[in-house]
Amino acid sequence: MTQPAWKDSAKDVIKDLRELASLTSDADGAHRVAWTPTWDKAQDWFKKKMKLEGAEISVDSANNVWAKIQGEINEAILIGSHLDCVPNGGWLDGALGVVAGMGGIKRYGKNGKKPKKTLYVVSWADEEGARFGRSCIGSSAVSGALDINEAAKLKDNNGIAFTDALKRYNLNIEAFPNARKEFMDKHIKSYLELHIEQAPVLESQGKSAACVYGITGCERQYITFKGQPAHSGAPISMRRDAFLAAAQASLAFREIGLKHNAYCTVGKVKVFPDIVTIFPGECMISLDQRSIDANILEKIYEEARIACMKAAADNKVDVVFEPVWSIPPTIFDTHLTELCREAVKEETGEATSIFSGPLHDAAEMAKILPSIMMFTMSASGLSHCKEENTPDKDLETAIAAFLRLTEKTINE
């Protein structure tokens, strides 16, 4: 269970998290949207705090911010997460992982204690994609997965191009791939990330912390049903109502998700002509499907398409599919998973393991080096909102377990 030193370090991390929240939040939540002045303030806060601890600070070609404590050897481990958030977001999402990494650096640094391996902490640029719509910008630049030609086309809701927003940072999208080489020069061999669960599973189990053994894969698409708009006085049986087809398909998605213990989410709905006295002749919906099992992910994707074609036929409309994004499930490194389970058990008495439904930067890192995540519980399962919270007692337990994992990985 928690030793005084671990507990003191965990409390210090929570203190820093509250300091960051006070700088970047108000009554409506946190406002650290990437590529905005409030995010810049958070990044500067990170740099300043780490400099005071004796860390070497650098910023790579994709605007990821790095803090480094040199170890006895150059072989390094990396702790990472993100300081950006969604609009009116929570105080812990992303920030917890970065600030816990800061807690790891504080155990060394100006205290004069040198770690066996070199220790890096990174604040990844734009994990959320809240402004320009593309998630994991900084970490995917490092993993090599970022398509700069596609990224160059991104615009925010005000029509501002991503490439223009970068000028404020003296950045050029063409240079983002250089972050990959800059990463390779750091000799990093392992990646660790602490995050809130963003779901109610751990709370329902009465657990404070868990090892995360993987992240679900995702198939995301837009589905457009096309019929014929007409007056709402027309008999329902004689209509070509695109919205009814979309609604029928959406209910089928729910059953598909329940049947396969998977995730099926319709998060966006657009109808045309969007007039109260006209039934829609066109309806576009988004479908986000996730599973930790690649075979199940493929199966629910096909079943959803079949359901859409049936709904289209039943309502005498056409259907068009537009793929948006696809990523396979991520299963984390076996050895790091065991170390993580050990750390959780030492702190909580149980080696709890779960998988993540939400995407994280760790999925990008797992493409290029051994990686692992740890979760702490989310109160009421809420995240991406101002109500997001984890009680201090649970935070202390998870942070202490994560610092144990950090020590284990450094001293191997």
pLDDT of residue 113: 84
For the residues of 308-345, what is the DSSP string, one character each? Answer: HHHHHHHTT-EEEEEEEEEE--EE--HHHHHHHHHHHH
Domain at 288, CATH number: 3.30.70.360
- Same domain flag for 245 and 366: no
pLDDT of residue 111: 75
Q: Which domain holds residue 33?
A: 4-215+330-410
- Same domain flag for 21 and 93: yes
Domain at 366, CATH number: 3.40.630.10
Q: Which residue bears the tokens 């990821």?
A: 64
Compute the radius of gyration of the chain from its Cα atoms: 23
pLDDT of residue 2: 52
- Same domain flag for 170 and 41: yes
Chosen domain end from 299, 327, 355: 327
- The gap between the terminal CA atoms of the chain, to the nearest Å, is 21
- Same domain flag for 310 and 336: no
- Same domain flag for 160 and 28: yes
pLDDT of residue 7: 87
pLDDT of residue 4: 62
* Count of domains for the chain: 2
Distances from the Cα of 329 to the Cα of 33, 318, 359, angstroms: 27, 32, 10
Distance CA 142, CA 126 (A): 13
- Same domain flag for 9 and 124: yes
pLDDT of residue 109: 82
Using an 8 Å Cβ cutoff, are 246 and 285 in contact?
yes
pLDDT of residue 110: 82
Give the pLDDT of the chain (412 residues) as one tens digit per residue: 456 678 899 999 999 999 999 999 999 999 999 999 999 999 999 999 999 999 999 999 999 999 999 999 999 999 999 999 999 999 999 999 999 999 999 999 887 789 999 999 999 999 999 999 889 999 999 999 999 999 999 999 899 999 999 999 999 999 999 999 999 999 999 999 999 999 999 999 999 999 999 999 999 999 999 999 999 999 999 999 999 999 999 999 999 999 999 999 999 999 999 999 999 999 999 999 999 999 999 999 999 999 999 999 999 999 999 998 888 999 999 999 999 999 999 999 999 999 999 999 999 999 999 999 999 999 999 999 999 999 999 999 999 999 999 999 999 9
Tell me the pairing of strands 56-59 and 25-26.
unpaired
- Same domain flag for 224 and 370: no
Using an 8 Å Cβ cutoff, are 374 and 344 in contact?
yes
- Same domain flag for 177 and 236: no
> Across the strands, what pairs with 184?
none
Please enumerate in sequence order all residues whose Cβ is within 8 A of that of 345, keeping only pairs 6 or more positions apart, or say none. 351
Chosen domain end from 308, 327, 346: 327
- Same domain flag for 210 and 241: no
Chosen domain end from 292, 327, 362: 327
- Same domain flag for 130 and 97: yes
pLDDT of residue 258: 98
- Same domain flag for 350 and 318: no
- Same domain flag for 352 and 285: no
